[in-house]
Amino acid sequence: MKTVYDFTVKDRKGQEVSLSEYQGKVLLIVNTATGCGFTPHYTPLEEMYHDLKERGFEILDFPCNQFANQAPESDEEIHSFCALKFGTEFPQFKKIDVNGENADPLFAWLATEKPFAGFGKGLKRTALKKFSDMNNKKFGDKAYIKWNFTKFLIDREGNILARFEPTVDMAEVRAAVEAAL
């Protein structure tokens, strides 16, 4: 059975990184953007990282510009923005596609293993569903990720525990991470 450790990704400098380097840690893998309404998620993500990294927790940040052109900057510009505005210290990787023919294999696998189950209830859900549906029409059956700040929780053995859409409260995400630790 495949695990997250079977994948290789590129760091923001373009160097290959085997995710097996994170073996034994609890991971939160996130696709992000600098100009998204969910960009403030960087604050609770960094707080979680700061509080829990000594217990074997890592956040792996993958910028993506496939949702309403919300991350048009270069990898270095994105990194500088996140470090300066949100104080992020967790690993940030090369900007990738998460949908379509050029979708990063890691995200295609994550989303196939833990498919989209809806944005939940409430006003955010209604607004986001409309934008997501319009945006993802161009990807057809390869619309793996519905919007920025989708999060996948990975256990210490490299298995997917949960998928959190961006509309999920960050306190719920944190509680799941702490339970996995």
> What is the set of active-site residues?
36
Distance between CA atoms of 175 and 100, rounded to whole angstroms? 32
Tell me the residue length of the chain: 181
Of 67, 71, 148, 153, nearest to 110 (Cα)? Answer: 153
Cα separation, 59 vs 148, in Å, equals 15
CA-nearest of 49, 73, 9, 45 to 170 is 45
